[in-house]
Amino acid sequence: MRKPVNKIICGDCIEILGKAKAPFVDLIFADPPFNIGYQYDKYKDEVKSEKYIAWTRDWMAACLNVLKPTGSFYIAIGDDYAAHVRIIGDELGLNLRNWIIWHYTFGQQTKHKFARAHTHLFYFTADSSDFVFNDYAVRVPSDRRLTYNDKRANPRGKLPDDVWNQYSRVCGTFKERRGWHPCQMPELLLGRIVAASSNVGDLVLDPFSGSGTTAVVACQLGRKYAGIDISEDYVANSIERIEELKKARKTTKTIFGSLAPKERLELRRLYVDIGIEKKEILASKKLLGIFTEQFGVRMNTDKRYDEHNIAMALMDMSG
């Protein structure tokens, strides 16, 4: 099998990945159908439980076939089959680093039970000790520093919890939403995963590419991408989405000034992760200083960022 580097291809991920002769992927993010009746154009998301569990085992094994020994493997799944994914991961020899809960707003409303407003995110690695985890890329200022002026606070920030509540579902009215796919992951959530668990130049695979969000984020963060989907339309639209991104990076001019596309995405990501209103940050020299310093930590570079330039970038940022 030829490596699908910087490509999104149409086909069955089990068949395609099963033909690989050697591992070549650094990070996998998989958001498979949840078997809860979503309407996809080429897949019926409603099969018998036994068949779905067997299929889950097959595609997870196919993904593991291409994952490097130092690679990481994230899986998004709903309540109904979360326990099965956990058990299959064990059986395949994967190492569970975190069982993350993504708690979101705009959850699906129900009539006869409490509204569901979360998704499970399993964070596995192929090896128990040899893997990529860029802690600097996800650190946030602690309340000790933001609120209590505690000198014991780590100036580099703290790692986030395993309950992620910063990211809303991508609803139909959102600017980010692509109307041709029924369930789209938020770019900023994928940004956290890609930034933490891969390095620049690494290859990120999405075996259920869907709306192409994983590839789009990987591209913005300087990673290579590979996507697979059984829908010709989803593949074609995803490729067009990536081309639009590349074109926008060449033509868009804003008062972000010298900030590169990667820096722009990281600025948005840090802003959402911190959870403080933009006007509050801009009105406080202390908060702006902390934000600017944390941004420098996130970028992991010797470059010093100017508070004025960061303030201008925040003002130019939508939302």
Q: What's the confidence (pLDDT) of residue 319?
A: 55
Is the separation of the CB atoms in 284 and 307 below 8 Å?
no
Q: What's the confidence (pLDDT) of residue 255?
A: 45
Q: Looking at the DSSP assignment, which residues form a beta bridge with residue 73?
A: 28, 124
Instruction: Please tell me which of 137-146, 177-186, 254-263, 301-310 the model is most confident about, judged by mean pLDDT.
Output: 137-146
pLDDT tens profile 159-202: 999 999 999 887 655 666 565 455 778 999 999 999 999 999 99
State the Cα–Cα distance between residues 198 and 166, nearest whole angstrom: 21
Q: What's the confidence (pLDDT) of residue 254?
A: 47
Q: What's the confidence (pLDDT) of residue 107?
A: 63
pLDDT at 26 over 60: yes
Q: What's the confidence (pLDDT) of residue 251?
A: 47
Average pLDDT over residues 94-121: 88
Q: What's the confidence (pLDDT) of residue 172?
A: 57
pLDDT at 19 over 80: yes
pLDDT at 131 over 70: yes
pLDDT at 249 over 70: no
Higher pLDDT, 319 or 105: 105
Strand 163-164 relative to strand 95-108: parallel, antiparallel, unpaired? parallel
The CATH classification of domain 7-251, taken from the options 2.60.120.380, 3.20.20.70, 3.40.50.12280, 3.40.50.150: 3.40.50.150
Three-class secondary structure of residue 222 per DSSP: coil
State the Cα–Cα distance between residues 213 and 270, nearest whole angstrom: 19
pLDDT at 47 over 90: no
Sign of CA dihedral 231, 225, 299, 142: positive
pLDDT at 303 over 70: yes
State the Cα–Cα distance between residues 23 and 42, nearest whole angstrom: 28
Average pLDDT over residues 63-76: 98
Q: What's the confidence (pLDDT) of residue 116?
A: 86
Where along the chain do the CATH 3.40.50.150 domains lie?
Answer: 7-251
Average pLDDT over residues 34-56: 81
pLDDT tens profile 253-299: 444 456 777 888 899 999 999 999 999 999 999 999 999 999 999 99
Q: What's the confidence (pLDDT) of residue 216?
A: 93
Q: How far is CA 114 from CA 36, 111, 169, 237, 249, in A?
A: 17, 8, 18, 35, 43
Is the separation of the CB atoms in 212 and 241 below 8 Å?
yes
Q: pLDDT band at 246, cuts 50/70/90?
A: confident
Q: What's the confidence (pLDDT) of residue 211?
A: 87
| Percent of the chain clearing pLDDT 70 (strictly above) | 88
Q: What's the confidence (pLDDT) of residue 115?
A: 85
Phi, then psi, of 71 in degrees rounded to 5: -85, 165
pLDDT tens profile 160-170: 999 999 998 87
Among the listed ranges 34-38, 121-125, 300-304, which one has the minimum average pLDDT value? 34-38
Q: What is the rounded average pLDDT for all residues in the chain?
A: 89
Average pLDDT over residues 85-106: 95
